């Protein structure tokens, strides 16, 4: 029986013939793998729509840090021959107002009105860490996502733990790399703020007094890596 793949991306027709020629069956539901054809953003979108299904990442973008340096055809041939492994990457869970949002890269709490900063307090593992902070918000990142938005704010990245970066704070606020099982709780004292994850179009609006909990999710993203 042929391996079933679902192709995800704005220009998936470019890769369909190649996938079929190598011997995969292209389907619209219940795939064995999801082929993400694009860049890093496409990978995140595909994970949001098909969480947990192993992702084969094929490059169709100039910028794709998650892509393999070898050609798409060789990647597919190796997978067809069984020369691959599946790596699991933990995700972040954000919970607020009885809503949940997950990210394989990062969750951002951002000022809802770009003309006005937000104010917030936060704690880690039940201990308040700082006084009220004024700024554009925070970015909470996984190691996988630390080379993106987190790095643009902090000029650094990390390989282990949970990253917390402060975006345009009015006073010095050093970024933190916490243990990956840490629980961050943030309370908005002046809003509104918007919570969003990766390239997921869903969002959560936080008003004054609303709180959000950010922590490691029990769910994992799975990415196919070739030998």
Q: 189 is written with which tokens?
A: 């004292």
Find, among 107, 93, 110, the residue nearest to 146 by Cα: 107
Angle at 182 between CA 152 and CA 139, to 5 degrees: 20
What is the Cα gyration radius of the chain? 19
Catalytic site positions: 40
How far apart are the C-alpha atoms of 61 and 64, rounded to whole Å? 6
Beta pairing class for 176-178 and 33-38: unpaired
Nearest to 90 by CA among 184, 180, 152: 180
Q: Residue 166: helix, strand or coil by DSSP?
A: strand
Judge whether 37 and 60 are in contact, CB under 8 Å.
Answer: yes
């Amino acid at each position: 029986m042929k391996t079933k793949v679902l192709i995800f991306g704005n220009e998936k027709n470019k890769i369909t013939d190649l996938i079929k020629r190598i011997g995969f069956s292209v389907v619209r539901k219940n795939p064995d793998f999801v082929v993400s054809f694009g860049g890093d953003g496409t990978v995140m979108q595909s994970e949001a729509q098909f969480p947990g299904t192993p992702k084969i990442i094929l490059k169709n973008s100039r910028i794709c840090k998650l892509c393999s340096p070898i050609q798409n055809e060789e990647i597919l041939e190796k997978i067809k021959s069984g020369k691959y492994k599946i790596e699991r990457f933990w995700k972040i869970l954000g919970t607020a107002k009885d809503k949940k949002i997950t990210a394989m890269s990062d969750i951002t709490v951002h000022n809802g009105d770009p003309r006005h900063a937000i104010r917030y307090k936060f704690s880690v593992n039940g201990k308040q860490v700082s006084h009220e902070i004024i700024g554009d918000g925070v970015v909470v990142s996984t190691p996988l996502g630390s080379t993106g938005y987190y790095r643009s704010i902090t000029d650094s990245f990390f390989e282990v733990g949970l990253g917390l970066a402060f975006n345009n704070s009015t006073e010095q606020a050093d970024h933190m790399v916490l243990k990956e099982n840490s629980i961050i709780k943030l309370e908005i004292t002046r809003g509104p703020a918007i919570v969003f994850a990766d390239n997921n179009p869903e969002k959560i609006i936080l008003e004054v007094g609303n709180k959000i909990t950010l922590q490691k999710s029990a769910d994992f993203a799975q990415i196919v890596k070739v030998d």
